[in-house]
Chains A and B, each alone.
Chain A
Amino acid sequence: KAGVTQTPRYLIKTRGQQVTLSCSPISGHRSVSWYQQTPGQGLQFLFEYFSETQRNKGNFPGRFSGRQFSNSRSEMNVSTLELGDSALYLCASGSGTANTEAFFGQGTRLTVV
């Protein structure tokens, strides 16, 4: 069974640009969550999508957005990039049942210069 696939693995962007990250969940999983990991703030929840609808949202500005497609694949978009957006972005795949384990991808390392 294939795991969670995130693309690309590495990205370098310039301040002010926008970026789109992609996540393909485990086959059959309908929940996709996104997390930002930085040395200073640790792992922070961005949002969760379930059956193409945003179900939960963390405390991030509106520059961070996402969507989910009918095949459960998800994309995360960050507009007007800031230096502080440099981080490892992790996608987590789940069945969608509350409080069950999540399966994480290897992440996308975003560097903003």
Chain B
Amino acid sequence: AQSVTQLGSHVSVSEGALVLLRCNYSSSVPPYLFWYVQYPNQGLQLLLKYTTGATLVKGINGFEAEFKKSETSFHLTKPSAHMSDAAEYFCAVSEGRTGNQFYFGTGTSLTVIP
């Protein structure tokens, strides 16, 4: 069975500070991992994804994530937070069989303090 745990439902950082959003997964098969961002009253936008290959994945808006199999983690980072990064972030794992069934974490709300 697949599951995703996001540690910290709310994270606050100062503008210009490092952003670190944590995600751990449980999967019985090699995982396919995704980070999505959701702005108020909007759908989800893909930030980045890990399927196979390089474990450090770069995404849009300066975000990146590292897949660590030994720690079953896929933490999202950004070196310097911008005010526009304030949003809800979701980590997701995809079922490893057919189709596009995602299991989402409960989300982390990021606040950026000026």
Contact = CB atoms under 8 A, between A and B. Distances in A.
Interface residues of B, number: 26
A33 B94 CA distance: 13
B99 A50 contact: yes
Interface residues of A, number: 28
Nearest to A105: B43
A7 to B, nearest CB: 13
Residue from the set B94, B96, B99 with the largest chain A CB neighbour count within 10 Å: B99
Contacts of A50: 99
B45 A104 contact: yes
Contacts, number: 73
Given A42-B107, A56-B95, A103 B100 contact: no
A100 B43 contact: no
Nearest to B100: A94
Interface of A: 4, 6, 31, 33, 35, 42-43, 45, 48, 50, 55-56, 58, 90, 92, 94, 96, 98-107, 109
17 contacts: A33-B102, A35-B104, A42-B106, A43-B104, A45-B102, A45-B103, A48-B100, A55-B98, A90-B43, A98-B95, A98-B98, A99-B94, A99-B100, A100-B51, A101-B34, A106-B41, A107-B42
